[in-house]
Amino acid sequence: MRTILEERKFPVDKIRYFASPNSVGKVLPWKGNEITVEDANSGEYGGIDIALFSAGATASIELAPKVADQGALVIDNSSAWRMDPEVPLVVPEVNGHALSDIRKGIIANPNCTTIVAMSALKALDRIGSLRKLVVSTYQAVSGAGLAGVNELAKQLSDKEGQLMWLAYDGRAVDFGKPVTFVGPIAANVLPIAGTLVDEETNEEHKFRDESRKILELPELEVSVTCVRVPVFTGHSVSIYAELGREVSTAEATRALSEAPGVKVVDLPNPLDSAGRDQCLVGRIRKDPGSRPAINFFVSGDNLRKGAALNAIQIAEAVIKNRA
Ligand SMILES: NC(=O)c1ccc[n+]([C@@H]2O[C@H](COP(=O)([O-])OP(=O)(O)OC[C@H]3O[C@@H](n4cnc5c(N)ncnc54)[C@H](OP(=O)(O)O)[C@@H]3O)[C@@H](O)[C@H]2O)c1
């Protein structure tokens, strides 16, 4: 968030950093100055115009209303407020108009995997009316925060010289007890991303529920399987998008090329998406089945568009609306 605020020359007169008691007193830079991290539970939030929250749902449920009550507009990265009917859930280039109705002083930033697919899906809805999505995700470890990044990096570095033996036997390397993920993530693919809440995971629920809210299609059918892959950053999504009318590959490609925040490429992949703002879309093709549908693949940076960038784009849109 700090990097993106600077990159985009976001208008900031004064910045304050808050965290848990673990980080209080730590010093972090801002444009050549040193800013001391404050305790987020201090209750001292006066004079703040915009508060960018990214401390998880538990902290957000408690703190966001308190900060909003003291006059700040909260833009929250967690899942806490996303499905609250009084809280807009916004990808500015898709449903920025929802920002005209901010009732609780809180705006929710969507789930990182959902955001990556939204502008492309909106473009297809505009030309062909979305009816149904069948989705498989390929989610990077940084989607589970620093703990996820550290777990993959450690498993890979600890066993560096032994990895080739996995070609013959998946048990040839002992990666140790998984902590953040449901199994070893190095050299593996885990078809449970997030936690099981019923027959589905919370990540699968988020993708369905948030897509419906952002695209304003409450009846949209969404079948989704969320998978964690050994990629550091860059969530990818493979999508079958069923439409209300026949759309050719050329027409879909044209619409996707014009979608804001999207770049159409031959080979979308997480490595190319990490560190850039646009979501990469490719493998666009008409589905060969009996129903009108387009298949495509999208990769996007879950820390930028999936989190920090989208939050700051929301802040920019709010400022523009107020001007
Ligand atoms: N990673 C992604 O791709 C992504 C994308 C979209 C949304 N999100 C959401 O963003 C939130 C944060 O995710 P993350 O990946 O950034 O996690 P993370 O790397 O684990 O960082 C969490 C941060 O929250 C702070 N924190 C925890 N409890 C706090 C409290 N009670 N008060 C104040 N600060 C507190 C921690 O501070 P300390 O270091 O002081 O403990 C830490 O800096 C989650 O809700 C996540 O679902 C993540």
Kindly give the number of the ligand 1 atom that is closest to the alpha carbon of 59.
31
Q: Residues 23, 101: one domain? A: yes
Which protein residue has the closest C-alpha to ligand 1 atom 48? 143
Which protein residue has the closest C-alpha to ligand 1 atom 4? 143
Over residues 221-249, mean pLDDT: 98
Is the per-residue pLDDT at 314 higher than 90?
A: yes
Q: Number of structural domains, the chain?
A: 2
Is the per-residue pLDDT at 170 higher than 90?
A: yes
For residue 265, the model assigns a pLDDT of: 98
- Placement of tokens 């390929």 in the chain: 138
In whole angstroms, what is the distance from residue 136 CA to residue 142 CA?
Answer: 18
Q: Residues 73, 129: one domain? A: no
The CATH number covering residue 34 comes to 3.40.50.720
Average per-residue pLDDT for the chain: 97
Ligand 1: residues with CB < 6 A are: 18-20, 22-23, 40, 54-57, 59, 77-78, 112, 142-143, 145-147, 302-303, 306-307
Q: What is the pTM of this model?
A: 0.96
Task: Answer whether 133's CB lies under 8 Å from 240's CB.
Answer: yes
Q: Does a structural domain hold residue 81? A: yes
Q: Does a structural domain hold residue 180? A: no
Q: Residues 119, 223: one domain? A: yes
Query: Which structural domain, as residue segments, surrounds residue 208?
Result: 113-145+188-301
Is the per-residue pLDDT at 43 higher than 90?
A: no
Sign of the dihedral through C-alpha 289, 292, 297, 302:
negative
Q: Does a structural domain hold residue 163? A: no
Q: Residues 126, 229: one domain? A: yes
Q: Residues 284, 243: one domain? A: yes
Q: Does a structural domain hold residue 118? A: yes
In whole angstroms, what is the distance from residue 236 CA to residue 139 CA?
Answer: 6
For residue 323, the model assigns a pLDDT of: 85
Q: Residues 94, 194: one domain? A: no
